[in-house]
Chain A
């Protein structure tokens, strides 16, 4: 009885999208969330997305809405298709030979799966930061300039490199050694370099695939602080195995798990505070309370 009573208002809030009441609860200390009370604007919408590797269905019938200027966390047990789903959004998985996907992914009202859409163009608009920092074997400056160069950037590259490094909170660390190898930096710095490189092409969405799993706690915290900064201008989707990270850093949480057929699906999505304190689904509760996964 008790749970049913407390469940009602939450469900209502969830169906209407994160309303003002919930927004208040998830408002981060930085105050980065928009103060307008209007319904959030969705930048990315996954509609009935299924992903296949050959005959194997890795992800089934996923519907997710990604709010603008917010951080959406994908959590769930290993192998439930979080990364596959993330790599579908920027069509990175199109590079996997046996891979195909169904459904629609709407970015600003345009279906990214549409025939006329070129994956190369999608990846400029939807950036990605990987699990292990992967700077290019080039100088720090060249690492950041690479993306703008391949996309035909016509402005002042030096300025763009500096701005990008500043936004990634790396400028002060590297301003005197822009000609050194990007690989000479520490792990956390390398990951921030990869973030700088990503924002240098001015994407609308930044996907992060467990960006802190190879980093120590201090670097992890720096990345999380950076994410809180970045969401003022960008929309972030992050896959994480670290539930504290999802709870700390995200505004919306999507919980996925996999069924008997090993196909991943979305169990529940909602404001992070609600998912972690008052999940509606038993599977979610088991997972976030550490009883499973």
Chain B
């Protein structure tokens, strides 16, 4: 009993030691804030440079005649109507094919497929496909659609090739959107006696639709801006008539830009820049559409 009780509290309790260092912590925060701002700054700078350069060169060439004209050897007479129409055709084909294919595949993978190694492998592979260089899809499109199916160098073949190109992105975006729907939604539908398909149609799809449609529209924007695969599957560089989607040749805006930009004459550089402005405007329209569609489809959704 001579040993002091080790569990007894010390006579004077030691004050808990904190070092608030408030100034230092706030400084760290300020530095991080600055870094984030700088990151945005870099992006804005690059974008501003691009826009100023493009508009400075291209704006003088941009008029109604340019939009409604056909390519010409003389830049002053050249227009981009065939390329604009070709891009629209490709875009529409992409929308028609990739929406049902992408959404159905995503619904299969999230709502139907069992969680086994095969389906996980499948999903990983789809993610990998999104990273395959677009030129590879051009080779595939050439072999499959242009030659094997005999579609020839048409905007239909281009639309199908672009569909393959963006399908992984559409599927991944749709899967993410479907997975974000709480399981309570699935149970709610099942509890009323819905079958799996009725559950998907009535509850899960409407809930995931904003995310799915946003993903689809952004992927379409990518398809419309893409040139590389089309070089392989026969997009022509000089089309002076409005393309027939099923036969004959066609061209699209990025190809037209490439063709004009590769010419040495300064005036062709100018109309190339003008065509870039048209592409940018088209992207702006598509992104705006994505916003509108998203807002419209999510009007009943408040998680």
Is there contact, CB below 8 Å, between A147 and B192?
yes
Q: Kindly state the separation between the CA atoms of A197 and B115 in the bound complex, as whole angstroms.
A: 31
Is there contact, CB below 8 Å, between A181 and B299?
yes
* Contacts A120-B195, A137-B207; A146 near B300 (Cβ below 8 A): no
Instruction: List residues of B (185-218) whose CB comes within 8 Å of A's CBs.
Output: 185-195, 198, 202-203, 206-207
Most buried by A among B188, B202, B302: B188
CB neighbours of A58 from chain B (8 A): none
Most buried by A among B186, B191, B298, B301: B191
- Interface 1/0s, chain A 118-138, versus B by CB < 8 A? 001101110110101011111
Instruction: List residues of A (240-275) whose CB comes within 8 Å of B's CBs.
Output: none
Is there contact, CB below 8 Å, between B192 and A127?
yes
Q: Kindly state the separation between the CA atoms of A138 and B204 in the bound complex, as whole angstroms.
A: 11
Is there contact, CB below 8 Å, between A181 and B188?
no
- Identify the closest chain A residue to B201 (Cβ): A150
CB neighbours of B186 from chain A (8 A): 95
Q: How large is the interface on A (under 10, 10 to 19, 20 to 34, 35 or more residues)?
A: 20 to 34
Q: How large is the interface on B (under 10, 10 to 19, 20 to 34, 35 or more residues)?
A: 20 to 34
| B184 within 8 Å of A (CB atoms) | yes
| A289 within 8 Å of B (CB atoms) | no
Is there contact, CB below 8 Å, between B191 and A136?
no
Q: Which of these, A90, A147, A181, contacts B301 with CB under 8 Å?
A: A181
Question: A-B pairs with CB below 8 Å: how many?
Answer: 88
| A139 within 8 Å of B (CB atoms) | yes
Q: Kindly state the separation between the CA atoms of A54 and B238 in the bound complex, as whole angstroms.
A: 66
- Interface 1/0s, chain B 159-200, versus A by CB < 8 A? 000000000000000000000001011111111111100100
Is there contact, CB below 8 Å, between A123 and B192?
yes
Q: Kindly state the separation between the CA atoms of A100 and B105 in the bound complex, as whole angstroms.
A: 29
| A81 within 8 Å of B (CB atoms) | no
Q: Kindly state the separation between the CA atoms of A198 and B190 in the bound complex, as whole angstroms.
A: 11
Is there contact, CB below 8 Å, between A136 and B206?
yes
| A194 within 8 Å of B (CB atoms) | yes
Is there contact, CB below 8 Å, between B302 and A184?
yes
Is there contact, CB below 8 Å, between B198 and A150?
yes
* Contacts A136-B206, A139-B300, A181-B302; A123 near B190 (Cβ below 8 A): yes
Some 17 contacts from A to B, beta carbons below 8 A apart, are A92-B187, A95-B187, A95-B190, A120-B195, A123-B193, A127-B191, A130-B188, A130-B191, A134-B185, A136-B188, A136-B202, A136-B207, A139-B300, A146-B202, A150-B195, A151-B193, A183-B300
Binding site for B on A (CB under 8 A): 90, 92, 95, 97, 120-121, 123-125, 127-128, 130, 132, 134-139, 146-147, 149-151, 181-184, 194, 197-198, 201
Known contacts A123-B190, A137-B300, A137-B301; 9 additional CB pairs below 8 A are A97-B115, A132-B184, A134-B185, A137-B302, A146-B202, A150-B192, A150-B193, A181-B302, A184-B302
